[in-house]
Amino acid sequence: MPFTHHGTPRRALVQLCLVAIFGLHAPAALAAYPDRPVKLIVPYPPGGATDIIGRIVALELGKALGQQIIVENRGGAGGNIGAEFVAKAPPDGYTLLMGALTSHSTMATLEKGKLRYSITKDFMPVMVVGSVPLVVVVNPAVPVKTLQELVAYGKANPEKLNYASSGAGAPQRMAAEILRTETGIKMLHVPYKGSGPAMTDLVGGQVNMMVETVPAALQFIKAGKLRALAVTTSQRISMLPDVPTTAEAGLPEVEVSSTFGVLAPAATPKDIVDRLNAAIARIVTQPEVKEQFLAQGVYAAAPTTPAQSAERLAQEVARWAKVIAEAHIKADE
């Protein structure tokens, strides 16, 4: 076919050359997104809350976009390895982070100067998708049945209480620190490498208290192996309807949930972020998705814009920076 001066083939060739040389993006390129599988990086090992939420979101997002969403676990360093990988990935919408926003926010302060990425500068939050409530639990050998009694017991028996956590920067540890600083009770922190071993020792009596995610503690509460004193939410929750909130116990400051959301590298085109946001907004409002979340102890979030999600993340970072400073929390303690 001849490439005449006025012919369509020559114009097409020129356009292709311009795209190749200058990296110009025709509107059609964005409209075609995604034209290949998308990776959703979970920065923790399989089986945890972030992984479970990520797999539910990935399945539904794949249906919405008409493209496979591949969940890839890149655990290690408290979620920092996977987060750094996404922060440095090409900002083209094909590598996303299933973020544990509360944990990443605490790490921003605890590991300041060590992290090779910024959770607020190197990411564009697409949407907050859900949260997991926490519950204050004690070994039944501790002679208390309410949060008020725990505080009274702690004050009457200074340094007799100790509490487990799933890690230095975990939301579980942060909630316990707020409880400690707000009440003035003295407690010894016993950090573990994950909720599993912490719960094992709490049930066994090696430690006597913990603030844990409801999903991780629920089976032990129902079996009578742990006693639930209060949930750290603004309202009572359906999974533990008879357990009062920390606010009901006179400690509204101890309101902590572990929040999760999808994030993209910061320079990802707005068109792509908006498309992902719209798709996820539909996903988190589907009754069947809400039921799947709830079965895992997760409450679906109300849809938010990317800007609102970014504001939520900034608030998390600011809140935990203040808690960490006031409680003198160290990453290795």
Q: What is the pLDDT of residues 132-164, one digit of tens each?
A: 999 999 999 999 999 999 999 999 998 899 999
Predicted TM-score (pTM) of the model is 0.80
d(CA 267, CA 290): 31
Q: What is the structure's pLDDT at 18?
A: 47
Give the pLDDT of residue 211.
96
What is the reported pLDDT for 19?
A: 47
Domains in the chain, ordered, with CATH? Answer: 10-131+259-327 (3.40.190.150), 133-231 (3.40.190.10)
Using an 8 Å Cβ cutoff, are 42 and 98 in contact? yes
Token pair belonging to 122: 């190197």
pLDDT at 28: 46
Tell me the three state secondary structure of residue 264.
strand
Which pLDDT score is estimated for 15? 52
**For the stretch 37-68, what's the b/e string if a residue is b when 16 or more beta carbons lie within 10 angstroms of its beta carbon?**
ebbbbbbbeeebbbbbbbbbbbbbbbebbebe
> What's the confidence (pLDDT) of residue 109?
93
- What's the pLDDT tens digit per position in 22-70? 444 444 445 689 999 999 999 988 877 899 999 999 999 999 999 999 9
Instruction: Report the pLDDT value the prediction gives residue 9, as an integer from 0 to 100.
Output: 52
Residues of the chain with pLDDT under 50: 1-8, 14, 18-29
The confidence score (pLDDT) of residue 10 equals 56
